[in-house]
Amino acid sequence: MGQIEWAMWANEQALASGLILITGGIVATAGHFTQWYFGAYSIVAGVFVCLLEYPRGKRKKGSTMERCGQKYMTAVVKLFGPLTRNYYIRAILHLLLSVPAGFLLATILGTACLAIASGIYLLCKFLPPAERAASPGCAPSSVCAGFCVYLPRAAVRGEQWTPIEPKPRERPHVGGTIKQPPSNPPPRPPAEARKKPSEEAEAAEGPSAGPQDNPIPVTDEIV
């Protein structure tokens, strides 16, 4: 259980809540229910939540499947920096967004679902930290740095939203592995060691030879 990234489930739950809010809002508005303006709010809140939660964050371990076409929203969500990266802020945002929809029966399901999503986001911040060395929590985000200083480090699980970015393709350097033949001859022992036995060997072998004796005649084996 220690290795579960709750944020992934919170993300699915929040996305579903967004859709439910939109549906409930459409029902309330189109049916001209009393106080239908809550329904209109619910549609707007639902659309906002859906757009925010659509880009799936990158998992810490393993590869993450992107949602279809999420890269456009990833760019937008990334712009807000720490506001969207930090899950505390998301949790509180979802909680606040869910409250006005709770005044209408048509949208109350959306409220409940979004509140649960908010709870799961908080959960991923308050569970005991994973065994492996966790990232330093929300320290990188400057906005909540002051807020985080007062939080005990142990309580912060270190999950945050990181965008999935395509890795830049490494262009294979054509010819990069072709190695040029050595330009200098190999080092040879001084002249007196190179007298009789090695002279024959040198004649038989070739440029790669050094001071080496081959007991068996060496033949070239190029197929």
Partner 1 sequence: MGNWAVNEGLSIFVISALALARAPAACLNFNCMLILLPVCRNLLSFLRGSSACCSTRVRRQLDRNLTFHKMVAWMIALHTAIHTIAHLFNVEWCVNARVNNSDPYSIALSELGDRPNETYLNFARKRIKMFSRSLSSSMRMCACEAWSNSGLPVTMPTSQRKLRTQSNKNPEGGLYLAVTLLAGITGVVITLCLILIITSSTKTIRRSYFEVFWYTHHLFVIFFIGLAIHGAERIVRGQTAKSLKEHNPMECENKISEWGKIQKCPIPQFAGNPPMTWKWIVGPMFLYLCERLVRFWRSQQKVVITKVVTHPFKTIELQMKKKGFKMEVGQYIFVKCPKVSKLEWHPFTLTSAPEEDFFSIHIRIVGDWTEGLFNACGCDKQEFQDAWKLPKIAVDGPFGTASEDVFSYEVVMLVGAGIGVTPFASILKSVWYKYCNNATNLKLKKIHFYWLCRDTHAFEWFADLLQLLESQMQESNNAGFLSYNIYLTGWDESQANHFAVHHDEEKDVITGLKQKTLYGRPNWDNEFKTIASQHPNTRIGVFLCGPEALAETLSKQSISNSESGPRGVHFIFNKENF
On whether the CB atoms of residues 124 and 10 are closer than 8 A, the answer is: yes
Binder to partner 1 among 177, 180, 183, 184 (CB under 8 A)? 177
Identity of the residue, 114 or 144, whose beta carbon is nearer to partner 1 in the bound complex: 114
Q: Does 34 bind partner 1 (CB under 8 A)?
A: yes
- Per rule CB under 8 A, is residue 175 in the interface with partner 1? no
Compute CA distances 197 → 17, 201, 208, 214, whole Å: 87, 7, 17, 11
Q: Which two tokens stand for residue 10?
A: 């919170």
Q: Is 33 in the site for partner 1 (CB under 8 A)?
A: yes
Using rule CB under 8 A, residue 59 touches partner 1: yes
How many residues interact with partner 1 (rule CB under 8 A)?
37
Number of Cβ within 10 Å of residue 87's Cβ equals 26
Residue type at position 129: P
Nearer to partner 1, 6 or 88 (CB): 6
Among 13, 86, 141, 160, binds partner 1 (CB under 8 A): 13
Instruction: Out of 51, 76, 96, 105, name the contact with partner 1 by CB under 8 A.
Output: 105
**127 or 139, CB closer to partner 1?**
127
- Smallest distance, Å, CB 196 to partner 1? 35
- Written as six digits, the tokens of 171 are 């262009």
Judged by CB under 8 A, the stretch of 29-37, 76-84, 197-205, 207-215 that binds partner 1 is: 29-37
C-beta of 192 vs 220, nearer to partner 1: 220
Contact predicate 30/107, CB 8 Å: no
| Helices (H), ranges, 156-195 | none
Q: Which is nearer to partner 1, 34 or 184 (by Cβ)?
A: 34
Question: What does the block give as tokens for 61?
Answer: 């371990």
User: How many whole angstroms from its chain centre is CA 14?
Assistant: 19
User: What whole-number distance in Å separates Cα of residue 81 and Cα of residue 94?
Assistant: 17
| 164-179 core/surface letters (b: 16 or more CB in 10 A; e: else) | beeeeeeeeeeeeeee
Which stretches of the chain bind partner 1, using CB under 8 A? 1-6, 8-9, 12-13, 15-16, 20, 23-24, 27-28, 31, 33-35, 38, 56, 59, 62, 65, 103-106, 108-109, 112-113, 116, 177, 223
